Structure 1
Amino acid sequence: MTTKLTQRRGHENERESVTRRIAFAGDPNVGKTTVAALVAARLAERTRVEVTGEATELVPSREASTDDALGIEWAVEDCPPGVEAIGARAERLDTVFVVTTPETLESALRYERCASQHDVECFLVVNRFDELARDRLRTFDGPTLAEYFYEKERISTAIGNGCVPELSARAVEAILIEALQSERQEPKRALEALERGNQSIVNTELEDREKADSLIDSFGAAGYTAAYFECNCHNHDGHVLARRQLP
């Protein structure tokens, strides 16, 4: 599904801006609102974000004073429990993240089928993860895994106090990366894809964080917007994503 275009009025004139619309769906009591709030809170540090659903009790919609997210604004929907929530809002979604626990992993298949029927990209987020579930998750034939969150007392305590848990950016930003561009490319191929117009957003992995600034500068010199995103992967530090500007 293509990114939706919305109109937003600036201080001096009206400009066209890209809004990426993502939703978090899942069965009751899997921590869906917790995950949605974690993502929305991180986005609010980088750009403008609109939040709907129960997650608004933890993270209200916010205007950011800086733009560190490729010039993309976000809408985060914390869906009501149940598969039907996807179909009810499919026309306005780019990506849906199905939240499960290790015990409810199979439920993701129902959500994946519904998302596929509505041509909405679908990924998996596993909440309350523990190492005993790693082998099962590795062999699970369902939505592509975007991220998992370990069960931690400080997370449940923060939510119980009406606060967003404090986690490192690398524990959250993998979800943003998947929503923007899941395909990884070498920098040269990524630049070629932008120049040829094959992709509007490209994703490159970096083994070393120190290389990020030079790669961002390279994309910038070619006329593209780029930003660095952290991730939890063991074999590299993070990603630089770049995008073509709107015409």
Structure 2
Amino acid sequence: MSTTSTEVGTVGNERETHHIAFVGDPGVGKTTIAALVTARLAERTRVQVTGEATQLVTDRDVTTDGALGVEWTVEDCPSGTKAIGSRAERLDTVFVVATPQTLERVVRYERVASRHDVDWFLLVNRFRESARDRLRTVDGPELAEYFYDDEEISSAIADGRVPVLSDWTVEAILIEAIQPDRQGAERALEALERGEQSIVDVEVEKRGDAAPLIDSFETAGYSAAYFECNCRCHDGHVLARRRLD
């Protein structure tokens, strides 16, 4: 059940708050992923974080032009499926963190998320190429992202800091949470103008294609921002939405 709320500050300054949660079995790296996502969000907008991830990253109160008017609450939940049911009424998106060794247990989270009508996606941590075929055969949610087995991640967590992944972005997770459906640029603009969607998502093949696309959305009166992804076939996405102010 989607419960996206709107927080109102001063008149004409409405901002949407999106609630996401990270769940999973013990030892899968759930807190690490939650901290990575929170740290990246904090570079864009105001974010609140709960759970063990607060040991690595704290609430931030910064808003940039790339925020799209969305503020975030990130919940690093206790291990196990019960965490979904107890929070379902306030969640917009749930990310189930698993490793290649725990993929068969993801179905338990699927049952609970489906029962509560919560959108959910799979995140695979400690991924290795040898597990790719196995991942393709998993009958479950859509894969939002995977994180390679990386010594930098283990070292950073041991040192009590958020890992720095120089060649890998976590922004695909944000894209899936905000708007997972892709459209062409013309169709996306039409969907906004007709009020069919409040947020649209357009893939851009090259990073340089983003600026003119953002300009076209802004000229039409919408907010737009670029988000990176790790796909090999394109560089990223432009998300656009109706302005809230």
Which of the five TM-score ranges fits, normalised by the shorter chain?
over 0.9
User: Which residue identity does 1:9 align to in structure 2?
Assistant: G
Contact 2:210 2:226 in 1 (8 A): yes
Alignment check: 8 A CA contact 2:199 2:242 kept: yes
Please say if 1:22 is aligned against 2:23: no
* Offset at residue 245 of structure 1 (A): 2.6
SS of residue paired to 2:6: strand
Q: Does 1:5 align with 2:19?
A: no
Mapped contact 2:3–2:89 kept (Cα < 8 A) = no
State the SS of the aligned residue for 2:155: helix
Q: 1:239 aligns with which of 220, 234, 237?
A: 237
Amino acid at match of 1:48: R
Name the SS of the counterpart of 1:171 in structure 2: coil
Match in the other structure for 2:172: 174
Q: State the match for 2:151 in structure 1.
A: 153
**Structure 1 position 107, deviation (Å):** 1.5
Correspondences of 1:102-121 after superposition (within 5 Å):
102-121=100-119
TM-score w.r.t. the length of structure 2 is 0.96
1:76-126 residue CA offsets vs partner (Å, 9 max, x unmatched): 000000000000000000000000000001111111111111111000000
The answer as to whether partners of 1:3 and 1:18 remain within 8 angstroms in 2 is: no
**Percent identity at matched positions?**
68
CA distance in structure 2 between the aligned counterparts of 1:237 and 1:7, rounded to whole angstroms: 32
Which structure ranks higher in relative contact order (CA pairs < 8 Å, sequence separation ≥ 6)? 2
Q: CA deviation at 1:69?
A: 1.9
- CA drift of 1:17 comes to 1.1
Q: Which runs of 5+ in 1 are unaligned?
A: none
- Structure 1 position 58 matched with structure 2 position 61: no
Question: What do residues 192-239 of structure 1 show as CA deviations (whole Å, max 9, x unaligned)?
Answer: 111111111110001011010100010001111100000000000100
CA RMSD of aligned residues (A): 1.5
The alpha carbon displacement at 1:14 in A equals 7.0
Contact 1:58–1:163 (8 Å) recurs in 2 = yes
2:138 maps to 1:140:
yes
1:169 deviates by 7.6
1:107 maps to amino acid: R
The normalised TM-score by structure 1 is 0.95
Distance in 2, matches of 1:50 and 1:112, equals: 26
Partner residue of 2:37 out of 19, 36, 39:
39
Gaps in structure 2 of 5+ consecutive residues = none
| Aligned position for 1:82 | 80
Return closer, same or farther for 1:201/1:2 CA change in 2, 3 Å cut-off. Answer: farther
Report the Cα distance in structure 2 between the residues aligned to 1:73 and 1:169, rounded to whole angstroms: 26
| Number of aligned residues | 245
Alignment check: 8 A CA contact 1:96 1:120 kept: yes
Question: Contact 1:5–1:16 (CA<8 Å) still a contact in 2?
Answer: no
Give the Å deviation of 1:2. Answer: 4.0
The residue aligned with 1:214 is: 212
Which one of 66, 74, 86 corresponds to residue 68 of structure 1? 66
CA distance in 1, matches of 2:167, 2:119: 23
Conserved? CA contact 1:95–1:120, under 8 Å: yes
